[in-house]
Structure 1
């Protein structure tokens, strides 16, 4: 193959997909083993909740600022690359800490830049795919594939090499992500470029759209749903281990949820354009109520297999619905800022969920998932109220 032909295959979509593939590998490994690794170091469940919650809390102060800076930059790529590089270097400090305060410090510093650039990456990729007529869901799905891959691999690596493998693995994955950020394309179109799909004209200021209750309520509702999924990431592996499930089963169980998520993203384009966004978000909320209620009763592995398969509905369906819902109703000049605001809402819910759930797990064990089911029901109510305020006519999801 000639060099020009090879270069022609490295489309903006391909290069963005490669970065997404590495973006969630580190979090995938952490979801599998971080709670167990912390527990082995004598960290309590309440402290595990704090270690997971503090980075989210700190990112709250950064997201809107980073989103606004990214919107004002000549291209969103600049902010994404800087954040990825910082997030690749800082985790090296984990080699030198063993106490609660040291781990809290470096885990927070490592999570902050990656968390801040996530919504910028989503907004930039969504605008690029709509402009070029390509599919956001397929690109984003490869991020879940990378996450899923290291859900499963981490469990086996821990069984083979012991817990000592966790920090080198996590640091290596963050450095790989940093390296892949350097090949990202420019996301904004040149002013004279002819596009396949135009962005519909909408309000050009964040406050003009975010103050509308029918727009704000679905984002709040799904933020609550997202918070209930974060507690699964933070505590599921620990709870399942306490139920007698081994690490080489826990890893594939977590990976199965990610596989369901990726599957939903891959098939999204086939039906997403025909169903209103808020209906999709509401379905994800109702499915979450059922999922967490079942989790509360410490079901056997075969039931957990089924519950993990519902992750494509409880998370991916709602996430894609929200991303398209936001893109449908906001203009490019506030794309990253609005997506960052949505992320802030999710992070607020996550902080409350992580701190509260750590305390509830200490008191009630797996029955704490009943509180997650109640929270999901409140999220569903928010989405239902939005539909009552404004029926979905113009906000049906548009793809490509």
Structure 2
């Protein structure tokens, strides 16, 4: 792989998170601008996560068997541009739910493919994954501020045009990714579901559960934080600043994740720390604290998201064979960003309509279950991951 590979991966992550930084916090705000109810917003967001759940494993199977790992990423990028363009007419809730399903499938579906591709390339070629991924987080912050300012100046509809522009950039960056040539991938077994089942049945399944539950506990935050904080009197610029604070500390964590103490922490420890921080973060956010406290609580994003993210990736790279790399990441994505997140988003709509910002407290449940799974993983494999299943 070319020495320019880290730059190409960084460019892709930058383009992707430039789009995601508008989509994640402001897509519900855009839906609210289309005069939809809180329950409808929750169900539409959940439809997108359902699309992620069902399609990600199919894309991963393609990636594990494809001659070039770049091919499915580029295909998903092109489809994401087309699907977001289809959001422009004034559709009702049923059509928006259908479009959300497809946009979730092709946008979110890129995450496990690029993570598996980039993490394996970093391991084989000797470049640091954390700083490459941190470029994406930095552009996420830029997008937060720009999209928030655009909504303030031109209304919520403007964020859709930002996402269309962003998916065009993703498509361009995907076309310039390294090819990721694989030697005779079909004869290597592709995605052997029996052996993958053996992985899930073992300690890897505990890592999956911990990651899925802790990441899924962000459901209320992703679906309703912008709406909830607007109701508390905070404008879109402040909301963008809150999100950006979380991502800024995430960047620091990613940048340092391979160094010092962070580089020595076991995957189980990282997952456990993320789960414990999640319980604290959502419990206190549900109390509708003042703005200064909200900013302080956003610092826990370094643990609830980044520590959990790196913990799972580290475990997967060390314990999953290369020929199952994308499939393993897609299963995690389908669970954490699909099944658990979809349920959390749908439940969040119900509770937000009744108790407002207090609905954050519901996210303590998956976070606590994730802590149990992380502790179980630590007991099975406290310092080193399970041996690879070949």
Q: TM-score scaled by structure 1?
A: 0.89
Residue 47 of structure 1 is matched in structure 2 by: 40
Bigger drift between 291-300 and 90-99 goes to 90-99
- Specify which of 270, 275, 280 is matched with residue 285 of structure 1: 275
Aligned pairs (5 A) from 1:177-192 = 177-188=170-181
Residue 5 of structure 1 is matched in structure 2 by: none
Q: 1:122 to 1:220 in 2, by over 3 A?
A: same
Instruction: Tell me how far 1:190 sits from its aligned partner.
Output: 6.8
Residue 200 of structure 1 is matched in structure 2 by: none
Distance 1:98 1:242 in 2: 25
Residue 258 of structure 1 is matched in structure 2 by: 247
Instruction: Tell me how far 1:310 sits from its aligned partner.
Output: 1.2
Residue 140 of structure 2 is matched in structure 1 by: 147
Q: 1:164 to 1:391 in 2, by over 3 A?
A: closer
Instruction: Tell me how far 1:341 sits from its aligned partner.
Output: 1.1
Distance 2:96 2:141 in 1: 25
Residue 383 of structure 1 is matched in structure 2 by: 374
Residues 60, 348 of structure 1: 8 Å contact kept:
yes
Bigger drift between 235-244 and 358-367 goes to 358-367
Instruction: Tell me how far 1:207 sits from its aligned partner.
Output: 2.5
**1:238-289: CA deviations, max 9, x gaps?**
0000011111211111111111112211111113431111101100100110
**1:128-187: CA deviations, max 9, x gaps?**
000011111111111112222111111112222223322211211111111111111123
**1:48-69: CA deviations, max 9, x gaps?**
1111111211222222222111
Distance 1:163 1:179 in 2: 26
RMSD (Å), alpha carbons: 1.9
Instruction: Tell me how far 1:367 sits from its aligned partner.
Output: 1.4
Aligned pairs (5 A) from 1:20-31 = 20-31=13-24
Aligned pairs (5 A) from 1:1-400 = 11-188=4-181, 205-212=195-202, 214-271=203-260, 272-346=262-336, 347-388=338-379, 390-395=380-385
**1:82-139: CA deviations, max 9, x gaps?**
1111111221111113421232232332221122221011001111000011111111
Distance 2:335 2:347 in 1: 17
Q: 1:386 to 1:160 in 2, by over 3 A?
A: same
SS across alignment from 2:258: helix
Instruction: Tell me how far 1:379 sits from its aligned partner.
Output: 1.0
**Structure 1: gaps spanning 5 or more residues:** 1-7, 192-203
SS across alignment from 1:322: helix
Q: 1:55 to 1:32 in 2, by over 3 A?
A: closer
Distance 1:270 1:122 in 2: 20
Count of aligned positions? 375
Distance 2:304 2:296 in 1: 13
Distance 1:304 1:393 in 2: 34
Distance 1:180 1:317 in 2: 27
